[in-house]
Amino acid sequence: MTRFDASSRPMMSPTVVNMERFRRGLIELRSGREVDTFITIVAAVALSILNVLGLVSSTALQGATSGLLALIAVNLLVLRSRLETSGGRGTSYPRPILTELNYYPDPFEADMEHDGDLWIGGGNIGRLNPYYLYHIRRRLQTGHVVRLLLANPDSPAAALWAERFPRPLPPGWFQDQIRAALAHAESLVAEANGNLEVRLTNDELALGWTHLEFGTSKAKLYLQYFSFRSPDLRNLKLILSPSDGEIYDFHMAQLDALWQAATPWSP
């Protein structure tokens, strides 16, 4: 077996080395690196040309190459620091949470206490229980917009949604829950000043959500994917914000599409 001898490897000339750096630099520049990368490229090309023309000695070229390497090293350290501290869009990957039906872990309750617009969607939205009613009414009284999206109780979607439960439900039970939620919404219309928007969808909703301060940089989206006949009644949850980049954008596009396709409801 032939043993590799590092000393026998052919040495590349400074010109070849700099041209390789030029090629890599172009790739970095096309990827959105800063202007200092461009300056490094120009300097490397200029030194290579001067060396070919015999206007720069090999000793001077080696010194300049060392300086360029130091500049590249500094750039890499700065870039690494920015990546570690920026928390920029598209760099985070939310971890799913598995909890009981409508239970969200902290900081859900603390976030609900904040002001801002509110968007709630789901099959029956838990009949708009007192907890949600309190926060809906509080936001309406302070002039914020509240959106509600429910399944149309007279559509096949409501019947299909009921099939997700692990045990049989009484006939019409789920549809009655939706109508109870709509009755609660009707009681809020008088004090809503036009800020309560309710729509009904004919599509089976495979997820529910509570979207806080939607449309702003402070938005927080609490999502739950409805399980199919899960014996322990647990659902998969996600907590998203605009900083989650394309994952947040994808879900927002889905929710907006559902909203646009739904039918406005009025008492």
- Which pLDDT belongs to residue 235? 77
Does 3.30.870.10 match the CATH number of domain 97-264? yes
Q: Where are the domains of the chain?
A: 11-86, 97-264
Tell how strand 207-212 and strand 118-121 pair up: antiparallel
Express each pLDDT in 94-143 by its tens digit: 666 666 656 676 788 888 888 899 999 987 665 567 888 889 999 999 89
Count of CB atoms situated within 10 Å of the CB of 46: 13
> In this predicted model, which residue has the larger pLDDT, 112 or 89?
112
Question: What pairs with residue 197 in β-bridges?
Answer: 147
- Lowest mean pLDDT, pick from 62-71, 131-140, 254-263: 62-71
Q: Which pLDDT does position 189 carry in this prediction?
A: 87
User: How confident is the model over 150-186, as pLDDT tens digits?
Assistant: 999 998 888 887 787 777 888 888 889 889 889 989 9
Residue 229 has pLDDT above 70, yes or no: yes
Q: What is the pLDDT of residue 90?
A: 43
Burial class of residue 145, CB neighbours in 10 A (0-12, 13-18, 19+): middle
175 token code pair: 């549809």
The residue whose two tokens read 């001898």 is 5
Query: What pLDDT, on a 0 to 100 scale, did the predictor assign at position 162?
Result: 76
What pLDDT score does 2 carry?
A: 37
* Mean pLDDT of the 51-56 span: 69
What whole-number percentage of the chain has pLDDT above 70?
Answer: 60
Is the Cβ–Cβ distance between 196 and 140 less than 8 Å?
yes
The angle subtended at Cα 93 by Cα 90 and Cα 95, nearest 5°, is 155
Per the listing, tokens 């004919």 go with 202
Helix (H), strand (E), coil (C) string for the chain: CCCCCHHHCCCCCHHHHHHHHHHHHHHHHHCCCCHHHHHHHHHHHHHHHHHHCCCCCHHHHHHHHHHHHHHHHHHHHHHHHHHHHHCCCCCCCCCCEEEECCCCCCCHHHHHCCCCCEEEECCCHHHCCHHHHHHHHHHHHCCCCEEEEEECCCCHHHHHHHCCCCCCCCCCHHHHHHHHHHHHHHHHHHHCCCCEEEEEECCCCCEEEEEECCCCCCCEEEEEECCCCCCCCEEEEEEECHHHCHHHHHHHHHHHHHHHHCEECCC
CA distance 127 to 159: 16
pLDDT digits (tens, 9 = 90+) for 178-207: 898 899 899 888 888 889 999 999 988 888
Structure confidence by residue, pLDDT tens digits, 16-48: 445 555 555 555 454 444 555 556 666 666 766
Rounded Cα gap, residues 254 and 207, in angstroms = 11
Whether omega for the bond prior to residue 166 falls within 30 degrees of 0, making it cis, is: no
Query: Which residue type sits at 2?
Result: T
Q: With contact defined as beta carbons under 8 Å apart, do 117 and 139 qualify?
A: yes
What was the pLDDT predicted at 201?
93
